[in-house]
Amino acid sequence: MKKILIIGGSGMVASRFIVLAKDRFDITSADEKTLDITKSGDIEAYFEKNTFDTVINFAAFTNVDAAEVQKGDEGGLVWKLNVEGPRSLAKVCFDKNIFLIHISTDFVFPGNEKNPGPYSEDTALPANSEGIGWYGWTKNKAERVIVDSGCKYAIIRYGYPFRADKYDLKLDWARNLLNLYDEHKMYSLFTDQAQSIVFIDDLVNPLEKIIDEKIEGVLHIASENTTTPHESGSYLLERYAGKPVEIQEGSMVEFLKSPGRTPRPRLGGLKVEKTEKLLGMKFKTWQEMIDEFITQLNS
Ligand SMILES: NC(=O)c1ccc[n+]([C@@H]2O[C@H](COP(=O)([O-])OP(=O)(O)OC[C@H]3O[C@@H](n4cnc5c(N)ncnc54)[C@H](OP(=O)(O)O)[C@@H]3O)[C@@H](O)[C@H]2O)c1
């Protein structure tokens, strides 16, 4: 059984991944308390004592609006966790010949009219931060740092992950919508934002193959088609409520016009054809992912 270290194992995506993958690998899970990746000395010391075939780095500063407050601060926690942490991990993985899987996002792209998605695995990573928020820019930098390190790596991008079993520390987009509906607090959803989503359970088979075969490069694991928050939200709530649910239409273009908004991809999303071909797998559509989410909720 392959020995794997999962960094950020207590997080929303990784904790579900670990439950589903625990019988397939010999997994060690680390979080901030057990291995603080902002401390390069701690990483070196940890890897002197422990060996792994593969490291998966799920850890990141993921609150997009809170990250924006640190915009431009290369001494701040967002930079340290999202860029310097991956840099130190890539160095140790290079030195010790460990396969590094680093988790990323389509927020590395601006998703604007000038450079719209959906992006392919081969789309050039923007070299400047125009139109990209600080979270996305630090994730963009992390990808570069890993590529430049010379280590054996796979960079996995996905967007808008969601899971059926409850995660107490934060709400994913789907759970948030169910709560808003139950509490009669539903607000309008954007009809002019393109996005890919991913049911977290659907990460497991592709990641297993990537780990087993040490498949390198930039890979996208996401719904096969893109959607909008209004379209996927209406579909989700109709299946949840068992009847059509009227949701007001909102505009992200208008939303982003208000001062102080954090830049986020409006024309985002990820193409998956190359990854599907490489892995010999077909990913689900966003509708099939939501169907599976509802099936699990009801079981
Ligand atoms: N959530 C999304 O919508 C989304 C979308 C696309 C991509 N992603 C990417 O997916 C990955 C996982 O996201 P998530 O939302 O599941 O994350 P999350 O729930 O915010 O979890 C973050 C994890 O990072 C750990 N961490 C924080 N500071 C650390 C440190 N200094 N050293 C080591 N670990 C530290 C946390 O541990 P503690 O609990 O101990 O602090 C936690 O386990 C991230 O790389 C993110 O960029 C997320």
- Ligand 1 atom 19 nearest Cα: 11
State the pLDDT confidence band at 215, using cuts at 50, 70 and 90: very high
Phi, psi angles (nearest 5°) of residue 219: -130, 145
Which residue is closest in CA terms to ligand 1's atom 5? 159
For 107, 155, 266, 294, the CA distances from 110, given in Å and listed in that order, are 7, 18, 8, 32
**How far apart are the CA of 11 and the centre of ligand 1, in A?**
5
Mean pLDDT of the chain: 97
- Reported as a single tens digit per residue, the pLDDT across 92-126 is 999 999 999 999 999 999 999 999 999 999 999 99
Domain for residue 242, yes or no?
A: no
Specify the pLDDT at position 290.
98
Does residue 197's CB lie within 6 angstroms of at least one atom of ligand 1? no
Query: Which of 78, 86, 121 is CA-nearest to residue 262?
Result: 78
Give the residue from 47, 127, 58, 49 showing the smallest Cα distance to 91: 47
**C-beta 67 within 6 A of ligand 1:** no
Residue of the nearest CA to atom 11 in ligand 1? 58
For residue 200, the CA-to-ligand 1 centroid distance in Å is 14
Q: Is 59 in the pocket of ligand 1 (CB under 6 A)?
A: yes
Cα 109 from Cα 193, distance rounded (Å): 14
Please name which of 78, 2, 219, 263 lies closest in space to residue 86, comparing C-alpha atoms. Answer: 78
Is 247 inside a domain boundary?
no
Q: Which helix (H) or strand (E) holds 54?
A: strand 54-57
Q: Domain residues for 190?
A: 3-230+253-298
136 in ligand 1 pocket by Cβ < 6 Å? no
Q: How far is Cα of residue 36 from the mean position of the Cα atoms in its chain?
A: 20
pTM for the complete prediction?
0.98
Q: What is the atom index within ligand 1 of the atom nearest the CA of 103?
A: 45
Reduced to 3 states (helix: H, G, I; strand: E, B; else coil), residue 270 is strand
What's the structural domain count of the chain?
1
Closest residue by Cα to atom 12, ligand 1, is 58
CATH code for position 284: 3.40.50.720
**pLDDT tens, position by position, 117-150:** 999 999 999 999 999 999 999 999 999 999 999 9
Q: Is 16 part of a structural domain of the chain?
A: yes
